[in-house]
Amino acid sequence: MKDETLIIEARELTKVFRDFWGRAKVRAVNGINLEVRRGEIFGLLGPNGSGKSTTLKMLLGLLYPTSGQLTVLGLSPRDVAVKSRMGFMPEESYLYKYLTADEILNFYANLLGLSGQAKKERVETLIQQVGLTGARNRPVGEFSKGMARRVGLAQALLNDPDLILLDEPTSGLDPIACREVKDLLIELARKGKTILICSHHLADMQDICTRVAILLNGEVCASGTVTELLASPDTIKLTLQSPSREGLASILEYVEKETGTRPQVDHTGRTLESVFIETVSRRRNAP
Ligand SMILES: Nc1ncnc2c1ncn2[C@@H]1O[C@H](COP(=O)(O)OP(=O)(O)O)[C@@H](O)[C@H]1O
Ligand SMILES: [Mg+2]
């Protein structure tokens, strides 16, 4: 029976680029195996030239694998039925700068064959979802990079896709816009969308990905859930919610007696991102 939750499956997927004379030049993707399931936010990480974009292009059906198998939503990525269930946001969206966000989304909605009330509702929902309500009638040429990214994201979501492919969705965004984009992606995954992200921004990936694969020279050199990858086999972390000074002292004493070493104490739970967002919004909301 077909496994409906398996959204992307790559088996020994390989792409060799050939030169003008047909001689093998670069093994851009070299026998990778990937499985991405419904509702996951999967991160494809790796340095420049590691094969991320080539993998993405094969997933989009733009490049044909040299060998191996690739199925997306149970079909070949070149199948038109797959394309209609896929959304893609490239790293740079080329938006016609004299059009407003509203006009751009309506234009692409027309191309998708949406019309009337359905189109109106779809554009309305997306404008709200990506937080462009206040700016919808301004030409996108005036937009910041973060706002333009939101138009790109709304555009990728127009066909209400089941699978969303994103190339560097958070690059160039200020911390607040970045947090908003990440929260939106988490929300989409919670609603059952599957998301695959190629990125260099490791902190953002650690923050939102359920699983990641690290590519190097076209090969997967590590993969797993973020927790698995970060786990160190002989160190554990214990988090205590506001312990009393005496309580903490006796816990430390006990642990030291049990293990022979004094545990390290630090104040976790906060990230620079959360401190930044709190500080800025407190200032902005101040009378
Ligand atoms: N069309 C192409 N023809 C020849 N080589 C290519 C082509 N596209 C990518 N490559 C090579 O394949 C390797 C992987 O590239 P790419 O998938 O773009 O990596 P990444 O997106 O991780 O930076 C690189 O060595 C790159 O130079
Ligand atoms: Mg690339």
Residue 25 lies in a domain: no
Output the ligand 1 site: residues, CB below 6 A.
17, 25-26, 28, 46, 48-54
Query: For atom 20 of ligand 1, which residue has the closest CA?
Result: 49
**Residues 243, 248, 253: CA angle, nearest 5 degrees:** 160
**How many domains is the chain built from?**
2
165 phi, psi to nearest 5 deg: -110, 130
The answer to whether residues 192 and 165 belong to one domain is yes
Is the Cβ–Cβ distance between 59 and 52 less than 8 Å? no
The answer to whether residues 81 and 223 belong to one domain is yes
Q: Considering 205, 230, 255, which residue would you say is the last residue of a domain? A: 230
pLDDT digits (tens, 9 = 90+) for 55-75: 999 999 999 999 999 999 999
Residue 165 lies in a domain: yes
The answer to whether residues 209 and 259 belong to one domain is no
Residue 208 lies in a domain: yes
Task: Please report the pLDDT score of residue 212 as a whole number.
Answer: 94
| Protein residues within 5 Å, CB atom, of ion ligand 2 | 53
- Count of all residues that appear for the chain in the document: 287
Query: How many Å lie between the centroid of ligand 2 and the Cα of residue 29?
Result: 12
Binning pLDDT at 50, 70 and 90, where does residue 268 land? low
The answer to whether residues 127 and 257 belong to one domain is no
Q: What CATH number is attached to the domain comprising 219? A: 3.40.50.300
User: What's the predicted TM-score (pTM) here?
Assistant: 0.84
Q: Which of 17, 55, 199 to mutate to test the pocket of ligand 1 (most atoms within 8 A of CB)?
A: 17
The answer to whether residues 133 and 265 belong to one domain is no
The answer to whether residues 90 and 194 belong to one domain is yes
Residue 21 lies in a domain: no
Contacts 24+ apart (CB under 8 A), 104-112: 104/140, 104/151, 104/155, 105/151, 105/154, 105/155, 105/158, 108/155, 108/158, 109/158, 112/158, 112/159
Pick the ligand that lies closest to the CA of residue 47.
Answer: 1
Query: How many Å lie between the centroid of ligand 2 and the Cα of residue 94?
Result: 17
Query: For atom 13 of ligand 1, which residue has the closest CA?
Result: 28
Task: Please report the pLDDT score of residue 228 as a whole number.
Answer: 86
Boundaries of domain holding 250: 245-285
Residue 23 lies in a domain: no
pLDDT digits (tens, 9 = 90+) for 135-184: 899 999 998 888 888 899 999 999 999 999 999 888 878 888 888 889 98
The answer to whether residues 96 and 160 belong to one domain is yes
Residue 29 lies in a domain: no
The answer to whether residues 192 and 86 belong to one domain is yes
The answer to whether residues 166 and 49 belong to one domain is yes
